[in-house]
Amino acid sequence: MASVIVVDTELKDSIKEYAQIIDAVNGNTEFSGSVVSDLGDGDAEIEHKSELITKITQVSTSSTLTKLSDREFEPAFYLLIHILSELSEKSSAELLDDENSYVIKLLLESNPEKQALVRDRKTVKSTSILSILTNIFNLIPEVSKTRIYLIKQILNIVKSSNIKFSIIENNLGNNLINWLTKSQANDTEIRSIFWDFIQLDSEFSLKSLTLIKSFTLNYELQSIQELYNLINFALSSKTVDVSFLITNNVAQSLQAHAQDSLVATFTKYVQGDLVTVPESFSNFKFINQKSRILSLAKFLSEKSQSNDHDSIIFKYDEIPTELAANSYEFETLLVNSIRANVIEGKLNQLESTFYLSRVNRFILAGGNNHQVNANNWNEVKQALYEWKNSLANINEIVKATRENIFNNGSA
Amino acid sequence: MSGETSFMHLVRPNVSAPAASAATGTANIKIHAPALFQILEIVSKQVLSAEKRIIGTLVGLRSDDGLELEIRDAFVVPCNETGDSITIEDSVHKTLFQLYKKAHPKEAVLGWFGSSNQIDNTTSLIHDFYSKGSDRAFPHAAIYLNVEYLTADNQITVPKLSTYIGAAVGKPAANTQIGWKTTTVNNSYIFTPIPNQVVNGSITEKIAFNILKEKSVNTPSTSLESDLSYLSKQLQVVDTNIDNILHYIESKGLETNHNSDKDIDLLRLLSNNLLNRPQQLSNSEELKNLFSAHNQDVIMIEYLTKAVKDQIELSARLTASADAEKKV
């Protein structure tokens, strides 16, 4: 399933149509006049195809085409692709399957460098360029290397023209690696394109975090720079609990670079230890707040598991002072944690207690956490058995009630 | 939107339809399951004669910016293909759409569907038919849904759905006026694939679907179960699921062996959700406490909502009476 161009008119009529478009821009009839002689009479074949191609490519410069309005530019460009592929007797896929092809160069030159002023709202927009690029991408075969080049160009345009990341996030994000592998991009290319793509996300969204995760499932982080990219993204993101990012590959890389200060901070952060941020990390806006939330979650989960503590009821004054100095701060912190989806529970302000109903654990992959995870598995198993038993009881009660209703009804 | 696609779709291309706004984002098509069944039933007749083209109209909802489309229903429109030309029985399309419109006044024609293995000139002609004229997609852009389920040598395969939007090629559709008539000359399109997803409309549909799945088609009547036996059935389902998980954990010996990334994800999910569940089931006193606390919360919220509502009503009345006084 790919893009398909269907043109209903004869090639000659298409060329005339294109000539009219160019003439309308230039405000004269020069070009139409000059192509008429090349087209020949009536139904006769066009003789000098290559000359005609030269003529057309000479007039179709980016400065001419960008004078078209945004609505006219895209259709005109498709017509140009169609004419050129017909004249050169190639399919449009063959015509476009070349990084240095005239068409792709022309298109990239036409991308507006500056954001359009309100006054010239009709000028060609970057989204139109993107739309044509995606169509070219869809026209050329999956295995073509040109696709790699196109993806790079698309990322460039998104970066330079301030296009919203949300436009490319879903489609490009879900398929990027797949497409690149099909085009036989090498490992380094895939890595660099992937991180370029991720770094376009200025919102540091959860979706991008999951993309990073699925990337690390298949690719090891080879350089410390890649690890930095991941850490920077995770710490800048609004998502608080990023423990899901720590896959076996990431854990391995974290261990290898454990000496590095940023890596060490990150490791502490994901384990729920309170992180105090040095001055140099000031670009992570939320990290202090995020770390406090995680640290609270860790405190709650550890306390609820210890034998000498009630499993769900917490009093305000049990909370360590470095997390919350007074009850007001604690309540704010709790509300934030609940909003961050790390903790669930209920506050009782009258008795100043907190009923915990769910808290995130920090399950991390990697050899260091092997023992911790083994314990966690055992606990999960125990919880499952308990659940199973209580279900059996409920089922009996339900059955008994049914019997009761039935007997009473018949009596 | 999810899943992998072989094509790229970032921005909806420029279309020639007058009401379509400038494209600023990705387009997406939702196909409702009942509509899909309808479409499949219609196109399955293609198997009778490979030469005869079977097409139909898609009806449903379109968002204001034209980027979100919902296919809610479909009906067949007869057509006759002779060589390069094609005639579509416009009157049938009109009558059926008018009928449909009576029951669903808010819905409109979105485009058309067919079953063919390639896009050719005829596709473009039909697309043109649906893009122009009253009672069709005009003044919006039409979409084209293709169900490919016959291979080149007429063998039936798993239906493959693809959706396209026809972007304009060439000069912008100029309206040439001849006498009273205004005709638009532009039959050229570039068919750009756009993503689609099949959605299961409402909860009622899902329940009905589940019942259908359980009962064989020929069962004369389906009796709804009373609440309690349904409950105990569901409890059994949960019980089997728990058994499955336990079996998985024990068979792989996850406590001692090396954990793969998938197992870690499972452990994270389970321990985040299972541990720390309040022990209400074993402690009835606690349960009572929590239940009454919950009730109080609900009453409090109700009270607050009511207070806010009263405030709004009061202020509306005050404004109204102030206006009335002014007039006097």
Q: pLDDT digits over A8-66, tens only?
A: 778 888 888 888 888 888 888 888 888 888 777 777 777 788 888 888 888 888 888 88
Q: Which of A404 and A362 is assigned the larger pLDDT?
A: A362
Closest chain B residue to A150, measured at CA: B8
Which of A317, A333, A359 lies at the terminal end of a domain, its last residue?
A: A359
The residues that bridge with B184 in the sheet, in sequence order, are B175
Instruction: Supply the range of the domain harboring residue A384.
Output: 367-410
Share of chain A above pLDDT 90, in %: 5
Q: Tell me the pLDDT tens digit for each residue of B289-301.
A: 777 777 788 889 9
Does A405 contact chain B (CB < 8 Å)?
yes
Å between B92 CA and nearest CA of chain A: 26
- Domain presence at residue A249: no
CB contact under 8 A, B188 and A393: no
CB contact under 8 A, A381 and B246: yes
Does B322 contact chain A (CB < 8 Å)?
no
How many contacts (CB atoms, under 8 Å) link A and B? Answer: 260
| B314: pLDDT strictly greater than 90 | yes
Tell me the C-alpha distance between A44 and A275, whole Å. 79
Q: What is the mean pLDDT of chain A?
A: 83
Residues 29-48 on B with a CB inside 8 Å of A are none
pLDDT confidence band for B326 (50 / 70 / 90): confident
| Statement: the pTM of the whole predicted model exceeds 0.90 | no
| A411: pLDDT strictly greater than 50 | no
All residues of chain A having their beta carbon less than 8 Å from the beta carbon of residue B281 are: 390, 393-394
Å between A325 CA and nearest CA of chain B: 26
Nearest to B92 by CA among B109, B75, B110, B74: B75
Closest chain B residue to A390, measured at CA: B281
Contact B185, B176 (CB under 8 A): yes
On whether both A17 and A83 belong to a single domain, the answer is yes
Angle between helix axes A49-59 and A70-87 (nearest 10 degrees) is: 160
Average pLDDT (B34-53) is: 83
Closest chain B residue to A18, measured at CA: B170
The tokens 């980016």 sit on which residue?
A62
For the ranges B189-198, B227-236, B319-328, which has the lowest average pLDDT?
B227-236
Read off the DSSP letter of residue B281. T
pLDDT at B1: 41
On whether both A355 and A374 belong to a single domain, the answer is no
On whether both A347 and A382 belong to a single domain, the answer is no
CATH number at residue A300: 1.10.10
Does B174 contact chain A (CB < 8 Å)?
no
CB contact under 8 A, A388 and B23: no
- Domain presence at residue A198: no
Closest chain B residue to A387, measured at CA: B242
On whether both A28 and A63 belong to a single domain, the answer is yes
| B56: pLDDT strictly greater than 80 | yes
On whether both A354 and A378 belong to a single domain, the answer is no
Tell me the C-alpha distance between A290 and A238, whole Å. 8
Contact B88, B97 (CB under 8 A): no
On whether both A335 and A353 belong to a single domain, the answer is yes
Token pair for B284: 């009835």
Does B199 contact chain A (CB < 8 Å)?
no
CA angle A403, A408, A410 (to 5 degrees): 95
- Domain presence at residue A157: yes
Q: Say which of A130, A365, A401 has its CB closest to residue B10.
A: A130
Residues 91-130 on B with a CB inside 8 Å of A are 119-121, 123-125
- Domain presence at residue A215: no
pLDDT at A273: 83
CB contact under 8 A, A3 and B190: yes
Average pLDDT (B268-287) is: 68
On whether both A335 and A371 belong to a single domain, the answer is no
Does A68 contact chain B (CB < 8 Å)?
no
Contact B189, B85 (CB under 8 A): no
Most trustworthy range by pLDDT among A341-350, A391-400, B15-24, B213-222: A341-350
Average pLDDT (A154-181) is: 87
pLDDT at B2: 47
Provide DSSP, A36-104.
Answer: HHHH-STTPPPS-HHHHHHHHHHH--HHHHTTS-HHHHHHHHHHHHHHHHHHTT--HHHHH--TT-HHH
| A106: pLDDT strictly greater than 80 | yes
On whether both A398 and A306 belong to a single domain, the answer is no
Nearest to B8 by CA among A232, A147, A264, A283: A147
On whether both A41 and A102 belong to a single domain, the answer is yes
CB contact under 8 A, B264 and A379: no
For the ranges A147-156, A215-224, B183-192, B243-252, which has the lowest average pLDDT?
B183-192
- Domain presence at residue A400: yes
All residues of chain A having their beta carbon less than 8 Å from the beta carbon of residue B244 are: none
On whether both A323 and A391 belong to a single domain, the answer is no
No. of helices (H) and no. of strands (E), chain B: 7, 12
Which of A163, A185, A201 lies at the terminal end of a domain, its last residue?
A: A163
The CA-to-CA distance between both ends of chain A, in Å, stands at 68
Tell me the C-alpha distance between A171 and A168, whole Å. 6
- Domain presence at residue A331: yes
- Domain presence at residue A219: no
| B57: pLDDT strictly greater than 90 | yes
- Domain presence at residue A338: yes
The structural domain count of chain A equals: 3
CA dihedral A396, A399, A405, A410 (to 10 degrees): -130
Name the residue type at position B261. Answer: D
pLDDT at B223: 54
Which of A112, A131, A163 lies at the terminal end of a domain, its last residue?
A: A163
On whether both A91 and A156 belong to a single domain, the answer is yes
On whether both A120 and A19 belong to a single domain, the answer is yes
| B225: pLDDT strictly greater than 60 | no
CB contact under 8 A, A75 and B169: yes
The CA R_g of chain A, rounded to the nearest whole Å, is 31
